[in-house]
């Protein structure tokens, strides 16, 4: 295993130091447009930092029986790795040729459906809350509910990726949260290294996550959260809090676009980070959102009342939207 980890570290460092050579192989890039706040073309290579790990984990497991991931519910790690790799491939193709939004959603739902069909242990069957003793049984709606939750989170995560460090630091908070729960430490140690190396590129606008990075990270985070939830280490309302900022912003955007008779999946400059950029520079916006997320993650770790945290956030969020969006 020591040799395996040494190879992984070497692979990650090689990608970091030879990253600029990706331009030579026509790797997808993000070009500036009216919605973007960056200048110049930037490699959409964030997902590659994580893809090389997943591919290595999969091959090492198949060829040598090395198990890097252990699910609490005894889920099949190979099916998980293959599904995550397909999420990366979908994102890569989208970054390359800009797929239709409806088609992307259907493919995401298809990948999730196949994964859950083959890994039924990840289907959410009951809802448990920290503030009430009552348990809600989902019954025949369990499969659809799980697909809905995962697909919404993947879309919310993708929409949240708007400025440097934003989604990367959000993912890092999730990984730290998993570590505090003593969850998949071997897997996370490598992924945190990859994430830090990506952030070092991202802070200088040398690499963006792109859809390939957003899809692969959000899928992994979503599945890990479900596994922890089914191990009775977290409640449904606490999961909602962890995903609250990108989730609520996504719902606001969807409703606003529908009211304006626009495609809810077509991007605009009405995201929370765009609104904050009217008042603050990009660095300040990142700091504001990171502090918000850090506070929320800390509240879950220390089991602070979920309803109280939700109400505080909604008040602050509403004030920001009203004050800055109409100023």
Confirm if 209 and 44 have CB atoms less than 8 A apart: yes
In a domain, residue 206? The reply is: yes
Quick one: which of 122, 134, 101 has its CA closest to 224?
A: 122
Q: Does the pLDDT at position 305 exceed 70?
A: yes
pLDDT digits (tens, 9 = 90+) for 143-194: 999 999 999 999 999 999 989 999 999 999 999 999 988 787 888 999 999 9
Q: What is the pLDDT of residue 310?
A: 96
Q: Which domain holds residue 44?
A: 2-231
Handedness of CA 128, 228, 169, 103 (dihedral sign): negative
Beta bridge partners of 126: 137
Tell me what the mean pLDDT of segment 241-254 comes to: 95
Among the ranges given (55-69, 217-231, 303-317), the one the predictor scored with the smallest mean pLDDT: 55-69
pLDDT of residue 187: 86
Whole-structure pTM over 0.75, yes or no?
Answer: yes
Does 145 fall in a domain?
Answer: yes
The reply to whether 247 falls in a domain is no
**Whether the predicted pLDDT of 78 surpasses 90:** yes
Residue 64, exposed/middle/buried by CB under 10 A (0-12, 13-18, 19+)? exposed
100 is a domain residue: yes
297 within a domain of the structure (yes/no): no
Q: Is residue 37 part of a domain?
A: yes
The proportion of the chain whose per-residue pLDDT surpasses 70, expressed as a percent, equals: 97
Spell out the residues 6+ positions from residue 181 whose beta carbon is closer than 8 angstroms to its own.
228, 233, 234
> pLDDT (tens digit, 9 = 90+) per residue, 25-38?
889 998 876 666 66
| Residue 258 belongs to some domain of the structure | no
pLDDT for 34 equals 63
Note whether residue 321 is domain-resident: no
pLDDT at 39: 67
How many domains does the chain contain in total? 1
Tell me which residue of 287, 254, 286 sits closest to 268, measured CA to CA: 254
Residue 307: per-residue pLDDT:
95
Is 326 buried (19+), middle (13-18) or exposed (0-12) by CB count in 10 A? exposed
Tell me which of 89-98, 171-180, 216-225, 267-276 is least confident.
Answer: 267-276
Instruction: Using CB atoms within 10 Å of the CB of residue 6, give its burial: 0 to 12 exposed, 13 to 18 middle, 19+ buried.
Output: exposed
């Amino acid at each position: 295993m020591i040799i395996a980890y040494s190879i992984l570290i070497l692979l990650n460092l090689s990608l970091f130091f030879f990253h600029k050579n990706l331009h030579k192989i026509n790797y997808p890039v993000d070009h500036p447009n009216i919605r973007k706040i960056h200048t110049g073309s930037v490699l959409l290579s964030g997902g590659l930092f994580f893809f090389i790990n997943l591919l290595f984990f999969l091959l090492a497991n198949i060829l040598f029986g090395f198990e890097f991931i252990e699910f609490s519910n005894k889920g099949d790690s190979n099916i998980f790795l293959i599904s995550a790799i397909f999420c990366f491939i979908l994102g890569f193709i989208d970054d390359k040729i800009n797929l239709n939004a409806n088609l992307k959603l259907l493919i995401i739902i298809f990948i999730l459906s196949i994964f859950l069909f083959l890994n039924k242990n990840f289907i959410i069957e009951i809802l448990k809350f920290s503030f009430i003793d009552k348990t809600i049984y989902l019954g025949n709606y369990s499969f659809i509910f799980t697909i809905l939750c995962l697909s919404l989170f993947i879309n919310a995560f993708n929409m949240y990726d708007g400025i440097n460090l934003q989604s990367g630091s959000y993912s890092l908070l999730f990984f730290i949260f998993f570590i505090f729960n003593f969850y998949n430490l071997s897997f996370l140690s490598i992924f945190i290294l990859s994430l830090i190396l990506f952030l070092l590129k991202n802070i200088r606008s040398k690499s963006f996550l792109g859809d390939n990075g957003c899809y692969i990270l959000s899928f992994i985070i979503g599945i890990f959260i479900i596994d922890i939830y089914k191990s009775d280490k977290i409640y449904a309302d606490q999961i909602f809090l962890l995903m609250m900022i990108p989730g609520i912003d996504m719902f606001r955007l969807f409703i606003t676009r529908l009211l304006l008779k626009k495609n809810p999946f077509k991007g605009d400059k009405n995201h929370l980070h765009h609104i904050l950029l009217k008042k603050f520079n990009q660095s300040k916006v990142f700091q504001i959102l990171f502090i918000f997320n850090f506070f929320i993650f800390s509240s879950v770790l220390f089991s602070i009342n979920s309803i109280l945290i939700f109400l505080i956030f909604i008040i602050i969020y509403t004030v920001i939207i009203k004050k800055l969006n109409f100023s």
